[in-house]
Structure 1
Amino acid sequence: MRSCILILFFITTLCNVVTAQTCNQKGQLPNIPFKICSNIISQTLQNSCTGTIIPDTCKTLSPRTDANATWYSFTSSADDSLGFVIEPFDLGDDFNWVLFDMTGRTVAEIYSNKKATIASDWSNMSGITGTSNAGTDLLNCHTEDNPFSAIPQISKGHQYLLLICYNGIVIPNKTGFKLTITKGIKSVVDTAAPYIQKVYENSFNCSASKVTVIMNKKIACNSLSVDASNFSITGFTGNLINANVLCGPANTGDTINIYTDTKLSTGNHQLIIHSDNLNSKIADECGNTVIDGETFSFSVVATSELKIDSIEKIGCKVDSIIIYFNKDINRTSLASDGSDFNFTGPSNIAIRKVVWYGAYIKIDFAKKVTIGGNDTLVIQKGTDGNTLIDDCGTPIPEGYSAILNFPDTIATNFAYKVGYGCLYDTIHFSNDGNNGLDEWYWMFNGKVSGSQYPSFTNIDSGENHLYVYFSNRRCSDSLSTLISLVHKNFDVSFTMQDGACAGDTVPIINTSLGAIDNYVWEFGDGTYSSSPYPGFHIYPTDKYQKTYIVSLTASRGNTCYKSFKNSITVLPNCYIAVPSAFTPNGDGLNDYLYPLNAYKADHLIFRVFNRFGQIVFETRDWTVKWDGTYKSLQQPSGTYVWTLDYTDMDTGKKVSKKGTTVLLR
């Protein structure tokens, strides 16, 4: 499958680069995904879309992107297994998918953090794909016989995205697929009613209130009545004049603001959600409605002083922060040059500009903060002569301060060394753990480790793919690179002749390969050598024929040993003779006719003739022996003539001999 489908915890997937337009409609980007509202979803593609490169969990040369993508999101309601099938409308179309767990991660990490990948399919097969018991690996990479990955596990409360990506020419409103959830339906398909998570009150125009409602999930913006008739507040005698949802790019949001015509009294209240004046209900994008009578208790406290309510969570290498106040700030009290604020501390922060947003102010820095530590934010009188003032005229005290903790930035620094073994090598990685690092993710040739000091065995000789992701829970960094390695395994062998004459110089050639530290030669006659290249060996004279076992033991380090053996037969003399008789009856005694001891015969030709002068045997190798047959037929008993021609290796003289032998049966 050359295109892709991605499921995110959030989920995502990769496709080849396609030349097309940039798309920003609902479902085409990971920040505006569709919800999984049914276990069967049919989806057509509207147009071709370019994509952004996503870290490839498979070892490929070409980049993978989320081109021609359809994104879905879901939050798992239970620990479960996720089974699904993606069936193209045209079974000749090719789709791939990847699964990410995006819990605690930003959408930007889809394009930088390979660690989020849970499962994927990159098989080179068109037609149906998905997860199945037939899958063997969670990361199914470029197989030609199985378009399914193994079934992944999903966790309760984790967030996921599903991206379906197509690598081809999109035919609008025709190219598409059917997604069927086959396992984990109740955990994946969103059928739960939205409910209230939090309610709090702020002053509005000094004489009225703004009641903010936080829902447990995003609701459809167009399901809310702007006249606020979906809401009631107990203990309030005034009127709710309007309501709105803070809508995102997908026309959904989880924050509702309700405005009153008079200020709520201090004390306890209840917010109630019900059908509006047209009997319509607030619903999420799957159509699940808030239950009539949904109630949440909240308190209104008397506040007169203006103060900082909270500070936006500070991320890594930030170039801005957002300061939230407990009341709306009067816009005219904010000095445009940012001189109402001053930072002291190790980060050496300079302000570039400030932006007013009512109850919060965004401060942009002149450069990114890269040094970790505690900085103090002090509010002072600006160039306009005053500090910040709320809409009711209450100033924040000069010298009011807050501590901001900036995280240490990190880098993907690591070291490695290779341990060479007998059968395979091992690579050992390490990271120094500086800057508060406490999370490590290593992927080496598809193998994964979360250790600070991981080791991977059976490494390849040549290019090895490494992906690393390091984090101190606030800052992270990743790197994808190739490490070139040479496998230093070794093999032990040598060559030598299998026969010699007493007093001969026998050449021994070491043909061992690889990195070897030590050699031990045993020549079988009580002598030894530790030289890598012993060269020659002379065996002692003996009045009998003798066979010696020659062995070489090679080692690397103190634990890796390999041995190789050969044998050589040494004769008392090398006088060449042909037996006068032989008995080819298979009893193992004198079964063959051949020139004996012809170790020093070069360019040898041995022939045997019958009584008719016909050649019944011929060889140029003296170790090839006549067994008394001709054309697989046994020859009769009788006398045969032989001839032997050769060149004496020692003298260089040509020798010719002839004689007779008797074949006995």
Structure 2
Amino acid sequence: MWKTAIKLLAIVFFGQITSAQVIPDCGSAVPICSNTPINGGTNGYGSDDFNGASSSGCLERTTSGSIESNSAWYHFRTSAAGQLGFNIGHDSSEDWDYALYQTSNCSVLGDPIRCNFFDNSDGKSFIGVGEDPTGDTDSVHYEDWLQVNPGEDYYLFINNFSNVNSGFSIQFTGDIWSTNPTDALDCSIVNNLLGSPIAACDGDVVALDATTAGAISYEWYTDTGSGFTLIGGAVGPILSVSGSATYRVVVATSSGSVVSDVLAVFSPIPTTSPIGDEVFCHTTGMVFDLSLKDAEAMGAQDPNEVRVSYHTSLSDANLGTHPMDKQYAKTVGQETVYVRTTSLISPDCFDTSESFILDAVATPELSFPDSFTICEDTTGYEIGETMPNPSYTYVWSTGETSPSISVTEAGTYTLTVTNSSNGVNCIMDRTVSVAVSSTPVISVDVEFENLSPTNRVTIDNEVDGEFEYRIDDGPYQTSPVFNEVLPGSHTVTARDIYGCGEVVENFVVVGFSPIFSPNGDVLNETWHVDGLSVLDSPIVTIYDRYGKLLWQMTEFSPGWDGSFNGMPLPSTDYWFKLSYLDDTGNRIYAKYLQSHFSLRR
């Protein structure tokens, strides 16, 4: 639909009508009220309002030798408090500057409170205060918003530096127009029977009201650039107009005639081209770039003259409120997006006739891990999606079409999940690595440290995998090394962390010297085993390399002196075994303790 009502905030196209609404001197500044005046092209300047100064704020002398060059002055007064800004639209090939003064007296301008003198080498179409209507948040041609209060007078000086111009337009902006859409600017400064210049949209009908007390007759004239001509039949106090022109009324009264002119400009209304629906695959945190639809909506229209915004309701689109972020955080599902194409020059002229469907199809999210370890003797282990979506299709690399499958062998298995909707297939796949874990096969290595009461114990595992270990009833640890293990009989438990099996082994820790020397020097004369007292009925038997029994000792026996039947034995290595009674009273040999020692003479 098209908006046809005229608001206080309005703008008109530059370069459409040559008018007299350009005042080169501050003292005769054009008053701005319910509609913004236009410039049909400036030429030169009047008296020097800066009295020969070389600068005013950011403004400097132009090619004219003065600060002013093809200049225009405007005056407005605030009647409400809030945020106020303005856009000055112009041809992108031209260089325009401005300065804004807060004063009620042109002879005491002071320094401008907002000023911009940047050249237009970047080819921009707008300068001003607040925000660039094209959405360029980094434009150097814009100054900060004004925070205004009621009753403040401002003079706006617009200057053309390049000395080549096709005119400009002014559009007021800011939150003040939301809170005070009809009285943000004080209209009492306009002293004209027909009021201030009028901005409207093509198709609007505007009533010009010249009602005057004591009027005898009314005559209406129109000027589209070739001089005023009488409008036949227009003899009443109100004239309805729908075309761009300067209109004049002549009111005859008993005391003479009152003549009043007003400029009315009707701007084209943008048209929105038909827009195709969008269906896309959605993932968590994904955004949809709505700006990709801008060109489609604008069609052949100049993007420097039309802005596209998107809204979740037709009401918001018509009001121009709550635009959707161009980087739109779309959730899964369908929604209707309402499109508003707005004239950048005259934002009251817009079209909201088009909408499109934005359909975000969920890309499947998989909740199962990508690796599993199964036991070697398993009869089947289930992998895959345990909470499937009945709307999705599931296909495994094995050819199976169920959300999950049972596996018994190591390997890689890939599941492809598809969500199909409105001709779009949203796919997610995951490859699962399956490993087989075996029951541990262990041996115990005790590092004896020369009669030390404690020793280092290392568990050797012949099977690859992920295991953990503990001694006796101690805590499990992933390291197979245990330090400072006390003398005595112990158990070591090794288990697979996936629960595929465990083994328990017994071992004994004692201390003994790896070398002894029965040579009569009283030092290290006998070989013995330390820690036997913690065992039940321990017996140590000593052998030569051929397995001949040489000596047998208990916990109460003296150490071996290196002799057999009273005869000294030669220097060489000897072996020993340790046996003891277990918890059931059976004599057993200590595993992993069939070790040797050396006799040195």
For the superposition of Structure 1 and Structure 2, which TM-score range results when normalised by the shorter chain?
A: 0.3 to 0.5
Larger RCO: Structure 1 or Structure 2 (Cα < 8 Å, ≥ 6 residues apart)?
2
TM (norm. structure 2) is 0.38
TM-score where L is the length of structure 1: 0.35
Structure number with greater Rg is 2
